[in-house]
Amino acid sequence: MNQTTERREAVQVSVDVVLLTLVEQQLHAVLLRRAAAPFAGVWALPGGFIHTAEDADTKASAARVLQTKVGIEGAYLEQLATFSGPARDPRGWSVAVAYCALLPAQSLPPQRDDLCVVPVSALPQLPFDHRAILDAALARVRSKSLYSSLPVHLCGETFTLPQLQLVYENVLGEPLNKVSFRRKMDEMDWLEAVPGALQGGAHRPAQLYRVKPAFRQELALSPRGL
């Protein structure tokens, strides 16, 4: 805080959320069509201003934006970084606290005209500095997937180990060695078999796993990476 009494200048504060999911083995971002100026009608990241009467912090603001504007709850949400400056928003000097959210595709909201789910490899032009925010989110998710349980938030509640490995491979954009992948998952000790739950035909059905309770909010970390 300030040492001497400074004038507090009006700075616009918003939250912007990069909401990622996996569709057909590709990372997709959820975009909303802006209803109001600036950039009315343009596809953009979900976002909004702080509601000081209801938001406990900017993470709560981001969760509220996902609930009220996207129509989802329970997405994994983490702070990405804060973007700022005089030019990023035509309304003046602004601060955007950016969040990264991950959601399984089956939890996406029903289709709507003002919502689209776009492959991150085929994004439309985005307003403000939303492209830089989205690129930062992709870099964060990919680097963090190398040493954590982050990608599991793109999976449903239960999954087989081959399904989990495929999700990691889709996020990282590269194949992983099955043996070392499973050893890393064992070392991280964050998965538990669902008793009696198998998937697949009578011929070699696969065990279903889920995240241990301790790791449903917290990420599991691999000290040495995948």
Task: List residues bridging with 30 in a β-sheet.
Answer: 117
Q: For residues 153 and 163, what is the distance between their CA atoms, to the nearest angstrom?
A: 13
- Among the listed residues 4, 106, 111, 125, the single contact to its own copies using CB under 8 A: 4
- Unique residue bearing structure tokens 């949400």: 77
Quick check: 95 binds its own copies (CB under 8 A)? yes
- Among the listed residues 86, 110, 196, 201, the single contact to its own copies using CB under 8 A: 86
Of residues 36 and 179, the one with the C-beta less far from its own copies: 36
What part of residues 38-67 is at the interface with its own copies (CB under 8 A)?
Answer: 38-39, 44-52, 55-58
Q: For residues 52 and 185, what is the distance between their CA atoms, to the nearest angstrom?
A: 41
Query: Among candidates 37, 209, 21, which has minimal Cα distance to 116?
Result: 21
CA 92 to chain centre: 28
Quick check: 145 binds its own copies (CB under 8 A)? no
Query: Among candidates 96, 90, 104, which has minimal Cα distance to 46?
Result: 96
Interface stretch with its own copies, choices 2-10, 148-156, 175-183, 209-217 (CB under 8 A): 2-10
Q: How far is the CB of 132 from its own copies (least distance, A)?
A: 12
Could you check whether the bond before residue 90 is cis, i.e. omega within 30 degrees of 0? no
User: CA Rg, the chain, in Å?
Assistant: 20
Angle between helices 178-188 and 161-172 (to 10 degrees): 100
Q: How far is the CB of 100 from its own copies (least distance, A)?
A: 13
Quick check: 113 binds its own copies (CB under 8 A)? no
- Among the listed residues 26, 79, 163, 199, the single contact to its own copies using CB under 8 A: 79
Quick check: 3 binds its own copies (CB under 8 A)? yes
Q: How far is the CB of 175 from its own copies (least distance, A)?
A: 18
Q: Pairing relation of β-strands 76-85 and 206-211?
A: unpaired
Site residues for its own copies per CB under 8 A: 1-14, 16, 32-39, 44-52, 55-58, 69, 79, 81-86, 89, 92-93, 95-97, 114, 127-128, 223-225
